[in-house]
Structure 1
Amino acid sequence: MQSENKIIADFVKVANSAAGTLAGMGREARENARERMKEAMGGMDFVSREEFDAVKDMASLAREKVDVLEAKIMALEAKIGSDKD
C-alpha cells in the first residue's frame, strides 16, 4: 500500500511540474509574440490614442468655427442682396 501511495505522489509531482512548465512556456510564447508585434508595428507610422483624440478635438473645433463663419457670410450676403433692391 505504501508503494502505491509513493507512485501516486510521484505522479502528482510530475504532473504539477509539467503544468508549471507548460504555463511558463505559454507566458513566454505570449511575451515573444507581443514583442514581435511591437517590432513589426514599430516601422509603421501609427499615432497614440492621445494624439488621435487631440487631433479629433482640433478638427471638431475647426468645424464649429467654419459653421459660424458660414452663417456670418450667409447673413452678410443676404444683407448685401437686400440693400441692392
Structure 2
Amino acid sequence: MWYELASDESYFRHGDFGRALEKFIAVEKHYADITEDQFDFHSYCLRKMAPRAYVGKLKFKDWLHSHAYFHKVAAGAISSFNRDCGN
C-alpha cells in the first residue's frame, strides 16, 4: 500500500486530480477488503474456540482505521475530490 499511496500523492502534486482520486479510492478498497475478510474470522474463532485470536482480531479492527496510511488516503481523496470537482 505504501507504493500506491506514494503514487497517488505524486499524481496529486502534478495536478492530475482525477487520476489521484481514482487511485486513492483503489487504496481505500484495500481497507474495505480487509474489513470484509474479518467477518469470516468471527465464525472461525467461535467454531474453533480460539478466544485469544478473536480478541487480537478485535484489537486489529480498532487499529486498522486509525493507521497513518488510512488517514493519508482519506485526506488525499477528499482533497483530490475538492480540487477535481471544484474546477
TM-score by length of 2: 0.37
Determine which structure has more spread, i.e. the larger CA radius of gyration: 1
TM-score by length of 1: 0.38
